[in-house]
Each structure stands twice: as structure tokens, then as C-alpha cells.
A and B are shown apart, each in its own frame.
Chain A
Amino acid sequence: MDNDVVLWIVVATALAFDFTNGFHDTANAVATSISTRAMAPRVAVTIAAILNFVGAFLSLAVAATIAKGIVQADMVTLSIVFAGLIGAISWNLLTWYFGLPSSSSHALIGGVVGAAFAADGPSAIIVDGLIEKVAIPAVMAPILAFVVAGVGILVTYRIVGRQRPSTVSRGYRLGQIISGSLFSLSHGTNDAQKTMGIIFLALVANGNLPADAEIPTWVVVSAATAIALGTYVGGWRIIKTMGSRIIKMDPAQGFSAQGSGAAVILAASHAGFPLSTTHVVSGGIMGAGAAKRVSAVRWGVAGNIVVAWVLTLPASALVGALTYMVVHLFGDGAAGPVVVSAVLLIALGVAMARRVFQGQTLTADG
């Protein structure tokens, strides 16, 4: 009974993470398209939500065992997964509040690493895996995207530079619809899988499913729905940062950032080296701006984003570790997760109520 309660709390928390993942990462697919008026904001997030939903059904290989190769798999318990999810959700909400794009995957890894560290000490962490799968991609992704998008926009200006600006803009707006759609589909195939993997892992750990079972349909549908709803709600603060606060972009720059970003992500994925979509698109936007004019990039905003990237792992790890310690205070039963969930839900309710009393809207645009 106790185990079932923990299981359903983990499932609900995983879906909550999936939702925050959706609205946090909407910006990657739609920010440049909205900024250059390739699509109306609501149309852009609707298309992104639909493609995220569809993408979640297209690829069901459960490779998404969380923090695989980064923490010792046999040490991961439901309490660690729960604490890791709370760490990731907290970081996603904090960075959304400040309008900073950051990697939801790295936040999840950080949360699980912190919780595993609190549970079993340093022996639970595979340091080489952390360097190989988090640190190196985190450094490499934005730099590579910066250079590729920069070269891309120079090639573009060289080829179409003498054409009428209105014709060029019209063409690139069409291109942005295609590249944005590709990003959304890719996000659905990738990120919804993480939630499916977490729920599947929880079901197996709880004895509800054998390890070699297929993912139940309700898991696929609920994960797809959560990420699509999150995408539709749209993290407007982050969309604003990526679309207009880093650079003021024209449609060709928007396409270059996104098209080059997609090329970098898929080329890396093909080579078996997955990169963070957020890091790639942010780096691409900076590269497309800097190649035109270095001073076109608001380096202060870019610096804040980089600081958020650096802090993602330690901050979410800290929250994950603290959450695990609080859960552990209540023993191995359901009391810990129930208390932590109740406290967080009350805190969220109070924050929303205060906003209502202050006359602010409750949409994700803050």
C-alpha cells in the first residue's frame, strides 16, 4: 500500500516535470519564429504542442533510463528518483521565473546525482560519466552552434545579400516554419521519452511490470499529453529572452540559428553524442547575431544565460539532495514523499493566490 502511494506520487511528479520540460523548452522551437513574425505566437505554440505530442509516439525505445552511466543504476530507488525530479522541477521553475533558457535534461541529471549522493555518498556517482555526458557536451554545444550558425549566416548573406529584403524575409519565414517544426518533433521524440522511462522504471521497481515489458499505452499517452500541454502553455519569459533579448534578429538569422542548430543536434545525435537543444539554439542565436555585428549581441544577457548553465547541475543537485534528506527523515514509507509533495503544492498554491490578489494573470508569461 505504502509502495503504491510512493509509486503514484513519483508518477505524478514525473508528469509535472514533463509539463515543466514542455513549457521550458517551447522557446527552442518557437522563439525565433515568433520574434521574426514567421508565425503568430499562439499558432507557433499550438503547432509545437501538436508536434511534441506526435513525436512522443514516434520513438518508444526506452533508452531514457535517467542518469544512465552517471549514477550507479542499482542504487537508484523511488525516493532518489522522486528527490531528483523535485530538484529538476525547482530549477526549471526558477530559471523560467528569471526568463533564462537552461537544459531540463541537465537539471534532471543534477537532481538525481544530488539525491544519489545524499543517499549513498560519492560511490553512487560515476564521475567519468558526468564529465563525458554532461560537462563536455555543455561546453561543446553552444560553442559549436555559435560557429556553425555564424558561418551559416555569412554564407546566407553572401548568397542572398543583393536580393530585395522583403523577398528574402518571406522566404526565410517559410524556412523557419519548417526548422521550428523539426525542432518540436525532435523534442517530442527525445524529452517525452525521459518521463516514460522514469514512470516505466518506477513501475518495474514497484513490481507492477516485468523489466522486459512494453511501455503501457497510458504511460505513453500521459507523457505525450503532459509535454504537449506544457509546450502549449508556453514559457513566454524564456521565449522573450531567446527571441528578442539576446539579439534583434531578422528572418535569415532566425533560420540560421535554428537550421544550423538542427544540423548540429542531428549530426551529433547521429554520431552518438547527444547535445542539449537549449544550449545549441542559444549558441546558434548568439552566433547568428555576432557574425553580422559582434555588438549586436547583448553580452550581458548571454552572460546570465551561461551562468544559469553552469549552475544547473549543482543547484538542482543541491535541491535533490535536500529533498532526499527530508524524505529520508520520515523513513522508507510514503510519509516523506507525501509531506514534501503537500508542502510544495501548498507553496505553489500560496504563490498563485498572491498573484491573483495582486491582479496578475496566471499564464506562463508571468
Chain B
Amino acid sequence: MLLATIDVGLLFEVVWASAIAGAVVSTLFALVVLFSARSAETRRAGHGTIATIYGAGAVLAFAAFIGLVVYAVHIMLSKS
């Protein structure tokens, strides 16, 4: 009876979707922190161009992270 109740396909979907979403969130924000730190370090060392490239990387990663947050809010509001 228990096996008949469980939608194994749905459970599998939840597991892989959660795992991917979690990994993407962690990676993106870690990149924001990494690029920000590197940007500050290289700027202090007088390497302005490299600092700008790292800064741009941080901005891009942060924009992608915010995109995920916006998508999360969309999911929140579109549930029935």
C-alpha cells in the first residue's frame, strides 16, 4: 500500500531539482564573495584593470543570484 501511495517519479524530481538549485545558489554566491575579495585585493595591490575584471565578475554573479531570487519569488506567487 505504501509503495502505491508514493509517487516515486515526483520524489526523484524533487531530489534532483533541489540538489541542482542548492548547488547553483551556493556556487553563485561563493563566486560573488570570491570575486569581490579578489577585486579588493588586486585594487589594493595597484592592479586596476584586473580589479575591474574581478569586480565585473562579482557584479555578474550577483546579478545571476538576484535573478534566482526573483525567480524564487515568482514560484512563490504562482503556486495555486
Mark A residues whose CB is within 8 Å of B.
Answer: 58-59, 61, 63, 128, 131-132, 136, 140, 144, 147-149, 151-153, 155-156, 159-160, 163-164, 167-168, 171-172, 175, 178, 182, 185-186, 189-190, 255-256, 259-260, 262-264, 266-273
Contact = CB atoms under 8 A, between A and B. Distances in A.
A182 B5 CA distance: 32
Contacts of A185: 73, 76
B37 to A, nearest CB: 4
A156 B30 CA distance: 6
B45 interface: no
B26 interface: yes
Contact of B36 (A155, A167, A269): A167
A159 B34 CA distance: 7
Contacts of A269: 75-76, 79
Residue in B11, B30, B77 with the greatest tally of chain A CB atoms within 10 Å: B30
Interface of B: 1-2, 5-7, 10-11, 13-15, 17-27, 29-34, 36-38, 40, 69, 72-73, 75-77, 79-80
A159 B19 contact: no
A171 B33 contact: yes
A354 to B, nearest CB: 42
A272 B77 CA distance: 13
B33 A160 contact: yes
- Mostly, the B contact residues are helix
Contacts of A273: 10-11, 14
Given A61-B80, A175-B29, A263-B25, 8 more contacts: A144-B14, A148-B23, A152-B23, A163-B33, A167-B40, A172-B33, A269-B76, A270-B75
A221 to B, nearest CB: 19
B72 to A, nearest CB: 5
B76 A59 contact: yes
Given A148-B22, A160-B34, A255 B29 contact: yes
Contacts of A182: 69, 72-73
B22 A152 contact: yes
A160 B14 CA distance: 28
B18 A263 contact: yes
B74 to A, nearest CB: 10
Given A58-B77, A159-B31, A270-B17, A262 B26 contact: no
Contacts of B79: 59, 61, 63, 269
A171 B36 contact: yes
A63 B80 contact: yes
A160 B11 contact: no
Contact of A189 (B14, B24, B33, B76): B76
Given A152-B25, A262-B72, A269-B79, A167 B37 contact: yes
Given A63-B80, A131-B2, A147-B19, A155 B26 contact: yes
Contacts of B34: 159-160, 163
B73 A260 contact: no
Contacts of B20: 267
Contact of B37 (A153, A164, A264): A164
